[in-house]
Amino acid sequence: MPALACLNGVFSSPEDARVPIWDRGFLFGDSVYEVCRLYQGRAWLEAEHWARLDRSLSAVRIRGVDLDALALRMRQTVLKSQIKEGIVYIQFTRGVAPRAHAFPQPPVPPTELIVVMPYDDGPTARRRIEGAAVISRPDLRWGRCDIKSTNLLPNVLACQEATEAGAIEAVLVDRDGYVTEATHSSLLWVRQGVVEASPEGTEILPGTTRQLLLRLIREEGLSFRETRIARSELAACEEVLLSGTTLELMPVVRVDGDPVGSGMPGPIARRLQTAFRRSVQRWLETGA
Ligand SMILES: Cc1ncc(COP(=O)(O)O)c(C=O)c1O
């Protein structure tokens, strides 16, 4: 099934969807976005994605978005695309107005983009079994990484370096030497049997998958703690994990070439991967 776009309520192929050059998303990156995973044609963790989108829109003061209408249009786009295993990309920009830094006055309607595209999980599924390599890079992002904005240049550049190094992600290291998260996924690690991750705040994106994992960790009877970790301590952890909408839960087996733990995916990663699959399956069968 080919990808399908819905731009300001108009369906077309993504290639035919056009925004004017005065769109503030194009000019300033003045926009926020969300990415959801479709399993069997249904949007996983939909409520969590809407909640985060709502927070991002409020934080950057993009007004006039009706999230109920958006949810309806997303479902229409998914149905029309007939895509079952896929990704939904949603973006709102502050709208179209001649270039000036301050907000358009009077305000203009936001630009709304929904794209539904097929997603082949095969290569990532294989990586989830073997584990993946990451590199580390300085975190050059801004002071509001909790907002899911499309200003992603530092993420793009660090991820490209990871790709060139044969790694799947770059973990980002702040000025004090502490790891924050990765370019498009959350980072968790295990020390003395306790799963740990950076504290929620302005330095990281509140990941919807991380949020789910915290629930699964509790249900599995495991312990979780928010704390910080220096880059230099990462390879000495028992396990390191990435989480994200398409990665789901990815064991990390190498950091900058050094093996993590035994150099193989660890037992906690395996338990949480199983719990994740069970959770998706239960939701598909019962909606809960
Ligand atoms: C910087 C960053 N951190 C974490 C995540 C993981 O978030 P989620 O689990 O909601 O996909 C993403 C996802 O794109 C991201 O871009």
User: Which CATH number covers residue 57?
Assistant: 3.30.470.10
Give the nearest ligand 1 atom to 186 CA.
4
From the candidates 24, 128, 137, 148, give the one annotated as an active-site residue: 148
Q: Does 196 score more than 90 pLDDT?
A: yes
CA dihedral of 33, 38, 42, 47, whole degrees rounded to 10: -40
Length reported for the chain: 288
pLDDT confidence bin for 131, thresholds 50/70/90: very high
Residue with the nearest Cα to atom 16 of ligand 1?
184
The sign one gets for the Cα dihedral 181, 42, 31, 2 is: positive
**What value does the mean pLDDT of the chain take?**
98
Q: Does 288 score more than 90 pLDDT?
A: no
Same domain, 143 and 200: yes
| 148 given a catalytic annotation | yes
Q: For ligand 1, is residue 56 a contact (CB within 6 Å)?
A: no
Number of domains in the chain: 2
Q: For ligand 1, is residue 149 a contact (CB within 6 Å)?
A: no
CA 36 → CA 186, 208, 223, 278, distances in Å? Answer: 15, 10, 28, 19
Ligand 1 centroid – CA 32 distance (Å) = 13
From 119, 137, 153, the end of a domain falls on 119
- The closest alpha carbon to 3, from 113, 93, 151, belongs to 113
pLDDT tens digits, one per residue of 167-181: 999 999 999 999 999
Same domain, 209 and 227: yes
Same domain, 150 and 108: no
Q: For ligand 1, is residue 207 a contact (CB within 6 Å)?
A: yes
pLDDT confidence bin for 202, thresholds 50/70/90: very high
Same domain, 67 and 169: no
Region 32-54 average pLDDT: 98
pLDDT tens digits, one per residue of 4-39: 999 999 999 999 999 999 999 999 999 999 999 999
Same domain, 172 and 278: yes
Same domain, 97 and 195: no
User: What would the 3-class secondary structure string for the chain be?
Assistant: CCCEEEECCEEECHHHCCCCCCEHHHHHCCEEEEEEEEECCEECCHHHHHHHHHHHHHHHCCCCCCHHHHHHHHHHHHHHHCCCCEEEEEEEECCECCCCCCCCCCCCCCEEEEEEEECCCHHHHHHHHHCEEEEEEECCCCCCCCCCECCCHHHHHHHHHHHHCCCCEEEEECCCCEEEEECCCEEEEEECCEEEECCCCCCCCCCHHHHHHHHHHHHCCCEEEECCCEHHHHHHCCEEEEEECCCEEEEEEEECCEECCCCCCCHHHHHHHHHHHHHHHHHHHHCC
Same domain, 219 and 254: yes
Same domain, 190 and 278: yes
Ligand 1 centroid – CA 212 distance (Å) = 13
Ligand 1 centroid – CA 165 distance (Å) = 21
Higher pLDDT, 288 or 35: 35
Q: For ligand 1, is residue 205 a contact (CB within 6 Å)?
A: yes
From 93, 119, 145, the end of a domain falls on 119
pLDDT tens digits, one per residue of 146-165: 999 999 999 999 999 999 99
Same domain, 145 and 106: no
Q: For ligand 1, is residue 209 a contact (CB within 6 Å)?
A: yes
CA 60 → CA 33, 173, 229, distances in Å? Answer: 12, 25, 30
Query: What percentage of the chain reaches a pLDDT higher than 70?
Result: 100
Higher pLDDT, 237 or 287: 237
Same domain, 187 and 270: yes
pLDDT tens digits, one per residue of 57-73: 999 999 999 999 999 99
- The closest alpha carbon to 184, from 166, 202, 197, 171, belongs to 171
Region 80-102 average pLDDT: 98
From 119, 145, 179, the end of a domain falls on 119
Give the nearest ligand 1 atom to 48 CA.
10
pLDDT confidence bin for 82, thresholds 50/70/90: very high
Same domain, 76 and 181: no
Q: For ligand 1, is residue 185 a contact (CB within 6 Å)?
A: yes
Residue with the nearest Cα to atom 13 of ligand 1?
184
Whole-prediction pTM value?
0.97
Same domain, 138 and 274: yes
Q: Does 283 score more than 90 pLDDT?
A: yes
Structure tokens of 136?
């580390």
Structure tokens of 41?
């044609």
Domain span holding position 39: 4-119
User: Which CATH number covers residue 208?
Assistant: 3.20.10.10
Ligand 1 centroid – CA 146 distance (Å) = 10
Ligand 1 centroid – CA 244 distance (Å) = 5
